[in-house]
Amino acid sequence: MNSPFLLTAYEKCPRSAFWSRDWQRAKIDLTELLQEGIKEGVRTSREDYGNASGEKVMEISAQREIVQDKYSVYDACIHTASLADVVSSAIRKAKEPPWLLPDPIGLGNGPTWHSGAFLSPSGESLRRIVLASNWSTERHYSEARSLFSLGEVAAYGLPMQQAVIVLGQSRDGKRHGYFSKGVQHPANKRLRFRKRNSPGESFKSSWITIFREDHDEISTHDWLQSMHQDGVLADSCFSVTIEVPERSARQRIVDVMARKLDTLYNLEKIPDEQYTGCFWPTRCQYVNNCHSGMEPSGRYGFVRVDQVG
């Protein structure tokens, strides 16, 4: 389990972090599934890395149960595989070598930091992929100041290129953003996303709404090219640079992270439950166990962290 994940959990709820040292939900949700697909896309040595990304999604879908809420699991997985293909193709440059993974690093004389980020092929900067339904100034600073960004930068002393992917809202197992949804002319079948001279205006009702996974005749390259021509690619995929703090500020961050990790790793007794944050902004995976007084186990849908591949 990577250190920024554990520390983020610890800052929200020590009990959640305590259990997360050993347990992880057996099921996987669609956002986690998409992240795994994209990870394969940027890490593979295959030239068709977009296809590799989608294939990884389907492979995991066959191995792990999907968290679902009244939608077709099969359709949602096909949609996620298609989305992983397009996103991977958008963020990884053609002919670029595979992205790397940073080695664990000691935090001074303290515990070892296990990264959740990527490393550029040159080794000169960290990389991270942020999946968002929408983007705002508040979300920008939340991500930039998070342990997944600032914490990683402080630990390694390297700047980070944070790739922001705006996916649109999630409804019925599908994302309703430009990476997965467009409109098509009823006669010439031209793919569009928004009007170039009047971005706020809608296309005529005769234009047909389509999803990427239903149109194999449109290549991933052509889908991304159409997004670029209509000016929506830059709105949906952009980079945010997280610089390394000056020396004293960086050391202060590293010291705080080291102390918190030490405290977390040395916990022997289950911490008290917390009464806020169980359901918002996201539902805690341990909420049923916590409220019923039952520790996580295979009986309650969890697996050991070292068993999740």
Domain boundaries, position 72: 3-296
pTM value? 0.94
pLDDT single digits (tens) 9-33: 999 999 999 999 999 999 999 999 9
Alpha helices in the chain (DSSP H): 3-12, 14-20, 30-43, 49-63, 73-91, 137-144, 152-156, 220-229, 233-236, 247-265, 287-292
Assigned domain for 308 exists: no
Please count the CA atoms within 13 angstroms of the CA of 144 that sit on its side-chain side.
14
User: What backbone torsions phi and psi does residue 231 show, to the nearest 5 degrees?
Assistant: 75, 20
Supply the Cα-derived Rg of the chain in whole angstroms. Answer: 21
Provide the pLDDT for residue 308.
59
- What does the pLDDT read at residue 100? 98
Total domains, the chain = 1
Angle of helix 73-91 relative to helix 30-43, nearest 10 degrees, comes to 40
Residue numbers of the chain with a pLDDT score lower than 70:
307-309
Residue 146 in domain? yes
- Residue 234 within any structural domain of the chain: yes
User: How many other CB atoms sit within 10 Å of the CB of residue 243?
Assistant: 10
Residue 176 placed within a domain: yes
Residue 305 belongs to a domain: no
